Homo-oligomer: A and B are copies of this chain.
Amino acid sequence: MKLNFHIKPEIRILGVDDSALISDEIMIVGTVFRGGGWMDGVLRSEITRDGKDATEVICRMAKRSKHYGQLRVIMLDGVTYGGFNVVDISKLNKETGLPVIVVMRSYPDFEKIRGALGHFTDGEERLGVIEKAGRIEEVVTKKPENPIYIQKAGIGFDSAKKIVRLTATRSNIPEPLRVAHMIATGIVFGESRGKA
Protein backbone atom coordinates (compact mmCIF):
# COMPACT_ATOMS: atom_id res chain seq x y z
CA MET A 1 0.00 0.00 0.00
CA LYS A 2 1.26 3.46 -0.90
CA LEU A 3 1.19 5.37 2.38
CA ASN A 4 2.82 8.56 1.21
CA PHE A 5 1.89 10.19 -2.05
CA HIS A 6 2.09 13.43 -3.94
CA ILE A 7 -0.83 15.66 -2.98
CA LYS A 8 -2.32 17.82 -5.70
CA PRO A 9 -3.90 21.10 -4.52
CA GLU A 10 -7.20 19.97 -6.07
CA ILE A 11 -7.14 16.44 -4.62
CA ARG A 12 -10.72 15.09 -4.61
CA ILE A 13 -12.00 14.34 -1.12
CA LEU A 14 -15.25 12.87 0.16
CA GLY A 15 -16.12 14.37 3.55
CA VAL A 16 -18.94 12.74 5.52
CA ASP A 17 -20.91 14.06 8.49
CA ASP A 18 -24.14 12.96 10.15
CA SER A 19 -27.15 15.02 11.17
CA ALA A 20 -28.85 15.23 14.57
CA LEU A 21 -30.37 12.27 16.41
CA ILE A 22 -33.95 13.24 15.75
CA SER A 23 -35.23 9.83 14.61
CA ASP A 24 -34.14 6.21 14.19
CA GLU A 25 -33.02 6.90 10.66
CA ILE A 26 -30.16 9.38 10.59
CA MET A 27 -29.27 11.33 7.46
CA ILE A 28 -25.59 11.43 6.53
CA VAL A 29 -24.24 13.99 4.06
CA GLY A 30 -21.19 13.63 1.84
CA THR A 31 -19.43 16.51 0.12
CA VAL A 32 -17.07 16.02 -2.79
CA PHE A 33 -14.42 18.72 -2.57
CA ARG A 34 -11.47 19.84 -4.63
CA GLY A 35 -8.82 20.29 -1.95
CA GLY A 36 -9.78 23.11 0.40
CA GLY A 37 -11.35 25.05 -2.44
CA TRP A 38 -14.71 24.24 -3.86
CA MET A 39 -17.47 21.68 -3.87
CA ASP A 40 -18.14 19.39 -6.81
CA GLY A 41 -20.99 17.31 -5.45
CA VAL A 42 -23.33 16.47 -2.59
CA LEU A 43 -24.31 12.95 -1.52
CA ARG A 44 -26.96 11.78 0.95
CA SER A 45 -27.69 8.45 2.61
CA GLU A 46 -29.29 7.14 5.79
CA ILE A 47 -27.89 5.05 8.62
CA THR A 48 -29.61 3.50 11.62
CA ARG A 49 -29.34 5.29 14.96
CA ASP A 50 -27.00 3.23 17.19
CA GLY A 51 -27.01 0.61 14.41
CA LYS A 52 -24.13 -1.22 12.76
CA ASP A 53 -24.48 -0.15 9.14
CA ALA A 54 -22.33 3.04 9.02
CA THR A 55 -19.27 1.37 7.45
CA GLU A 56 -21.31 -0.30 4.74
CA VAL A 57 -23.42 2.79 3.97
CA ILE A 58 -20.42 5.13 3.68
CA CYS A 59 -18.63 2.54 1.54
CA ARG A 60 -21.66 2.33 -0.79
CA MET A 61 -22.01 6.14 -0.81
CA ALA A 62 -18.44 6.46 -2.09
CA LYS A 63 -18.50 3.60 -4.58
CA ARG A 64 -21.89 4.42 -6.14
CA SER A 65 -21.02 8.09 -6.69
CA LYS A 66 -20.19 9.32 -10.17
CA HIS A 67 -17.17 10.95 -8.50
CA TYR A 68 -15.76 7.63 -7.21
CA GLY A 69 -13.11 7.37 -9.94
CA GLN A 70 -11.73 10.80 -9.02
CA LEU A 71 -11.83 10.40 -5.22
CA ARG A 72 -8.47 10.05 -3.47
CA VAL A 73 -9.41 10.28 0.22
CA ILE A 74 -12.40 9.82 2.54
CA MET A 75 -12.59 12.14 5.57
CA LEU A 76 -14.71 11.30 8.57
CA ASP A 77 -15.82 13.42 11.52
CA GLY A 78 -14.91 10.95 14.27
CA VAL A 79 -15.60 7.22 13.96
CA THR A 80 -19.07 7.14 15.52
CA TYR A 81 -22.01 8.23 13.39
CA GLY A 82 -25.73 8.40 14.28
CA GLY A 83 -25.08 7.77 17.96
CA PHE A 84 -22.80 4.72 18.34
CA ASN A 85 -22.90 3.36 14.81
CA VAL A 86 -19.13 2.82 14.60
CA VAL A 87 -17.19 3.08 11.32
CA ASP A 88 -14.52 0.41 10.85
CA ILE A 89 -11.95 2.57 9.04
CA SER A 90 -9.66 -0.33 8.01
CA LYS A 91 -12.63 -2.05 6.40
CA LEU A 92 -13.76 1.22 4.74
CA ASN A 93 -10.22 1.72 3.41
CA LYS A 94 -10.02 -1.85 2.08
CA GLU A 95 -13.44 -1.94 0.48
CA THR A 96 -13.21 1.45 -1.21
CA GLY A 97 -9.50 1.33 -1.99
CA LEU A 98 -9.30 4.87 -0.57
CA PRO A 99 -7.27 6.18 2.37
CA VAL A 100 -9.43 7.27 5.31
CA ILE A 101 -8.66 10.24 7.58
CA VAL A 102 -10.66 10.70 10.79
CA VAL A 103 -10.82 14.24 12.15
CA MET A 104 -11.76 15.08 15.74
CA ARG A 105 -12.27 18.54 17.19
CA SER A 106 -10.97 17.43 20.59
CA TYR A 107 -9.24 14.41 22.07
CA PRO A 108 -11.93 11.77 22.60
CA ASP A 109 -13.06 11.08 26.17
CA PHE A 110 -12.70 7.29 26.31
CA GLU A 111 -14.07 7.04 29.82
CA LYS A 112 -17.30 8.66 28.66
CA ILE A 113 -17.39 6.46 25.55
CA ARG A 114 -16.92 3.30 27.65
CA GLY A 115 -19.68 4.43 30.00
CA ALA A 116 -22.12 5.00 27.13
CA LEU A 117 -21.20 1.68 25.49
CA GLY A 118 -21.96 -0.08 28.79
CA HIS A 119 -25.63 0.25 27.82
CA PHE A 120 -25.08 -1.85 24.68
CA THR A 121 -25.12 -5.67 24.88
CA ASP A 122 -22.34 -5.61 22.25
CA GLY A 123 -20.54 -2.63 23.79
CA GLU A 124 -17.21 -4.47 23.95
CA GLU A 125 -17.35 -5.25 20.25
CA ARG A 126 -18.12 -1.61 19.36
CA LEU A 127 -15.33 -0.39 21.62
CA GLY A 128 -13.03 -2.81 19.80
CA VAL A 129 -13.85 -1.19 16.44
CA ILE A 130 -13.27 2.28 17.94
CA GLU A 131 -9.90 1.24 19.37
CA LYS A 132 -8.90 -0.47 16.12
CA ALA A 133 -8.95 3.01 14.47
CA GLY A 134 -5.49 3.39 15.97
CA ARG A 135 -3.28 6.08 17.33
CA ILE A 136 -4.71 9.57 17.77
CA GLU A 137 -2.32 12.29 16.69
CA GLU A 138 -2.46 16.06 17.04
CA VAL A 139 -2.36 18.32 13.99
CA VAL A 140 -2.18 22.10 14.08
CA THR A 141 -4.13 23.63 11.18
CA LYS A 142 -5.32 27.25 10.91
CA LYS A 143 -5.40 28.05 14.62
CA PRO A 144 -2.34 27.07 16.67
CA GLU A 145 -4.39 27.46 19.87
CA ASN A 146 -7.01 25.06 18.54
CA PRO A 147 -5.32 21.88 17.23
CA ILE A 148 -7.35 18.97 15.90
CA TYR A 149 -6.78 15.24 16.27
CA ILE A 150 -6.62 12.64 13.54
CA GLN A 151 -6.59 8.89 12.96
CA LYS A 152 -6.01 7.23 9.62
CA ALA A 153 -6.15 4.03 7.59
CA GLY A 154 -4.28 3.33 4.37
CA ILE A 155 -2.22 6.51 4.55
CA GLY A 156 0.85 7.65 6.47
CA PHE A 157 0.69 10.35 9.14
CA ASP A 158 2.72 12.85 7.11
CA SER A 159 0.47 12.62 4.06
CA ALA A 160 -2.66 12.71 6.22
CA LYS A 161 -1.37 15.78 8.02
CA LYS A 162 -0.60 17.50 4.70
CA ILE A 163 -4.10 16.83 3.38
CA VAL A 164 -5.74 18.06 6.58
CA ARG A 165 -3.66 21.26 6.53
CA LEU A 166 -4.23 21.82 2.82
CA THR A 167 -8.00 21.63 3.24
CA ALA A 168 -8.49 23.55 6.51
CA THR A 169 -8.68 26.82 4.56
CA ARG A 170 -11.56 28.55 6.38
CA SER A 171 -11.37 27.23 9.92
CA ASN A 172 -9.36 24.64 11.84
CA ILE A 173 -11.60 21.93 10.30
CA PRO A 174 -11.04 20.67 6.71
CA GLU A 175 -13.56 22.20 4.28
CA PRO A 176 -15.17 18.89 3.20
CA LEU A 177 -16.22 18.28 6.82
CA ARG A 178 -17.06 21.90 7.71
CA VAL A 179 -19.41 22.10 4.73
CA ALA A 180 -20.91 18.59 5.21
CA HIS A 181 -21.75 19.63 8.76
CA MET A 182 -23.41 22.87 7.60
CA ILE A 183 -25.51 21.01 5.04
CA ALA A 184 -26.56 18.25 7.45
CA THR A 185 -27.62 20.66 10.19
CA GLY A 186 -29.12 23.21 7.77
CA ILE A 187 -31.34 20.62 6.09
CA VAL A 188 -32.49 19.05 9.38
CA PHE A 189 -33.00 22.21 11.46
CA GLY A 190 -33.77 24.80 8.75
CA GLU A 191 -30.54 26.69 9.50
CA SER A 192 -27.00 25.36 9.86
CA ARG A 193 -25.44 25.26 13.32
CA GLY A 194 -21.92 25.38 14.66
CA LYS A 195 -20.28 22.51 16.47
CA ALA A 196 -18.98 22.58 20.05
A 131-168 to B, binary, CB cutoff 8 A, 1 in contact else 0: 00000000000000000000000000000000000000
8 Å CB interface, A151-196 against B: 169-170, 175, 179, 182-183, 185-187, 189-192
Set B64, B170, B190: member contacting A38, Cβ < 8 A: B170
Q: Is A39 an interface residue (CB 8 A)?
A: yes
- Cβ of A43 to closest chain B Cβ, rounded Å: 5
Set B43, B169, B187: member contacting A42, Cβ < 8 A: B187
Q: Is A6 an interface residue (CB 8 A)?
A: no
Assuming A38-B170, A170-B38, is B190 touching A45 (CB within 8 A)? yes
8 Å CB interface, A25-44 against B: 29, 38-39, 41-44
Show 19 A/B contacts (Cβ-Cβ < 8 Å), sorted by A.
A41-B182, A41-B186, A42-B182, A42-B183, A42-B185, A42-B186, A42-B187, A43-B190, A43-B191, A43-B192, A44-B186, A44-B187, A44-B189, A45-B190, A65-B191, A66-B191, A183-B183, A183-B187, A187-B187
